[in-house]
Every structure is written in C-alpha cells, then in structure tokens.
Amino acid sequence: MSRHFRELSVVGALAVVLIAMALFAPAFFQPQPLLSLATREAPTLVVACGMAVVIICRQIDISVGSMFSVVSVCAGLLAARGWPLLLVLPVAAALGAALGALNGLLVAGLRLPSIVVTLATMVALRQGLNLVRQGEFVNMPDAVQWFGLPQATGQWLLVGSALALLVGLGLALRHLAAGRFVYAVGTEAEAARLAGIRPQRVTFAVFVFIGALTGLAAMMNIVQSPQVQPLSGMGLELKVIAAVVVGGVAISGGRGNLWGAFAGLLLLACVAPALTHLRIEAYWEKAIQGAIILLAVVADGVRQRKQN
C-alpha cells in the first residue's frame, strides 16, 4: 500500500473528478466525445511511456515535441506520395529512433547533460522543419485518414493500440532485465557500473526508445486529420513531462512506473472537457493543470524530506 501510495492517490483524484462529473455534469460521459478525447490523447500516451522510462533513468528529453513534428511531416509526405501505411509505420519509428540515437549519442557518449542536449535538438529540429517547409501543411489522401476505415473503427484502433502498447511496455519495464537496469542506473549509476551494468549503454538505449515511440506517436497523429500541421508537436514535451511527474515518476530518477504515468495523463487530460461541461471558463484549464503539477511535486518533496 505505502509503496504505491503515490500512484493510488492520483487514481483517487481521478475518481473524485469522475464522480463529480457524474453528479453535476452527466453529459460528460457521452461516448462519442470521450472517444474523440481518447483518440486525441493516444499519441501523447505513447510518448509519455517513453518519457517515463527516460525520467526513471534520471534523464530528460525535451526534444520530443520537435521530433514528433518532424516525423509527422516526413511520414505524412511519404503517405501522401502513396506509400502504404504499413511501410510508413516502420520508417516513422526508425526515423524517430535515429533522432533519439542522436540525443543518446550526445548524452551517453559525450556525457553531456540531457536537458541541454535535447534543448538544442528541440530548437534545431523545429527551426530546420520551419526552414524546409515554410509552415506548409501536408494534405493527406482520403485513404490515409483513419487508415481508410470508418471513423469510429479507426478511433478504436488508435486508442486500442495505444493501450496495448502501454500494457506491453508497463509489463516489460517490470519483467525485463532491461527495465531493471533502467531503475538501477537511474538510482545510482556508479553502483550499477560496479555491478557490471553499462550505464552509458542503458542511457543511450532509453533515448533511442523514446525516439522510436515518438515516431509511432507521430504515425498515430497523421491518420487523424486531413492535413498534417508542421507545428503539431508544439508543447508536447511539457504535456508528457507533466503527466509523468504527476503520475509519481520521480524527476530525480529510479522511481515510478507506467501505470502512474497513465493515471497522471488521464487526470490532466480530463481537466479541459470537465471545465467545459461544468461551464467554467476555459481559461482555468492551464491554472488547474499547473496546480495539479505543483501539488504532485510538493508531495514528492515532502515525502523525500521525511525519508531523510
């Protein structure tokens, strides 16, 4: 119980929100808007899984938003040229992984701080994309949207695959040796090294991992609308980092899991529609999200001080 207190309290907060909605605004639970909300957040969930792993490893990647935009545009261009989506998918993942590998090489190979490295790649990728594309949208053929399936089917497919990915990765993090290595390196890299683990390799791997997931997320993005915007990933990094931190992944590394990150994402994602249904001004959204993040961080701080 005490070990999962943090995750459970997020779930509790979510339950409170949902119960309040059931009492005061039952219209919130209409299936179609909820499915649309879930579909919009599906790519965010996939990136959040990667971010959780990166933060558990005591690193951070703030270039995911830019990576997301770049891969979205590239994948969109390929799809627009008539490439089959089943072929675009691995290319998108590989492109993401390659961009992640660049971050990983700089962080693990040259031992540079990840916040600086990914800040640089974030700016470089975003500006590079602007330069090449001049803000132009990519128009997608009809066959691409919702994989050419009816909209509801396509939405279910996206939400379903994001959830499947979450469950698979969540289990892998606990049951694979590689997952254990991530926790060990994130807690005490030198101890891990003395135990025969190669911390630099693990660090490199988590950046490749988040890159590949960002590529997949971009793929889930381009099938959602008739046009791919070059700015589609703006602010994504903040969203996922917030979700992960609210979900109990310690920014100091070594602690947390994907289930918590998922709960954190749900909580933050519910704020906007809940406000709409409660007829509260939308301006409150960011303020409330900020308050939730602050509360989570303060809770962690208090917990840590108690431990010492």
Partner 1 sequence: MPVAPVLQLRQLAKSFGGARALRGVDFDLQAGEVHALLGENGAGKSTLIKIVTGAHQPDGGTIAVGGEPVADLTPAAAQALGIACVYQQPALFPDLSVAENIALRLERGGAFRTVGWRARRECAQDLLRRIGAAISPEAEVHSLSMPEQQLVEIACALGSGARIVIMDEPTASLTHQEQHLLFGVVRDLRKNGVGVIYISHRLEEIFALADRVTVLRDGESVGTHPVAAMDEAGLIRLMVGREVAQIYPPSEAAPGAVVLALRGVGCTASGVRDVTLDVRAGEIVGLAGLVGAGRTELARVLFGLTPADTGEILLHGQRVTLRSPQEAVALGIAYVPEDRRRHGVVLEMPIAHNMTMAVHRRLFRGAWLRFGAERSLALDYIRDLAVKCTGPDAPGGSLSGGNQQKVSLARWLATKPKVLILDEPTQGVDVGAKSEIHKIVRRLAKEGLAVLLISSDLPEVIGMSDRIGVMRGGTITAMLPGTADPHTVMAAALGQEETAG
Give φ, ψ of 2 to 5 degrees.
Answer: -65, -30
Integer-rounded Cα Rg, in Å, for the chain is 19
Minimum distance between the CB of residue 276 and partner 1, rounded to whole angstroms? 41
Q: Which of 15, 115, 116, 176 binds partner 1 (CB under 8 A)?
A: 176
DSSP letters spanning 230-258 = TTTTTTHHHHHHHHHHHTT--TTSS---H
Count of residues in contact with partner 1, rule CB under 8 A:
22
User: Binding to partner 1 by residue 60, rule CB under 8 A?
Assistant: no
Given 163, 197, 288, 299, the residue binding partner 1 (CB under 8 A): 197
At 305, list the tokens: 């001080």
Write the CB contacts of 273 (distance below 8 Å, at least 6 apart in sequence): 28, 33, 37
Please, which of residues 113-152 interact with partner 1 by CB under 8 A? none
**Scanning residues 255 to 274, which ones bind partner 1 (CB under 8 A)?**
255
Q: Quick one: which segment of 39-47, 99-107, 157-165, 176-184 binds partner 1 (CB under 8 A)? A: 176-184
Q: Is 86 in the site for partner 1 (CB under 8 A)?
A: no
Q: Please select the residue that binds partner 1; options are 23, 110, 177, 282, rule is CB under 8 A.
A: 177
Burial of 1 (0-12, 13-18, 19+ CB in 10 A): exposed
* Interatomic CA distance for residues 184 and 195, integer angstroms: 10
Q: Which stretch binds partner 1 (CB under 8 A): 62-70, 187-195, 238-246, 258-266?
A: 187-195
What is the nearest approach in angstroms of partner 1 to the Cβ of residue 175?
5
- Name the token pair of 113: 């701080």
Residue 134, classed as helix, strand or coil, is coil
- Using the contact rule CB under 8 A, the part of the chain among 12-20, 56-64, 146-154, 169-177 near partner 1 is 169-177
Binding residues for partner 1, per CB under 8 A? 174-178, 180-181, 183-184, 187-188, 190-198, 254-255
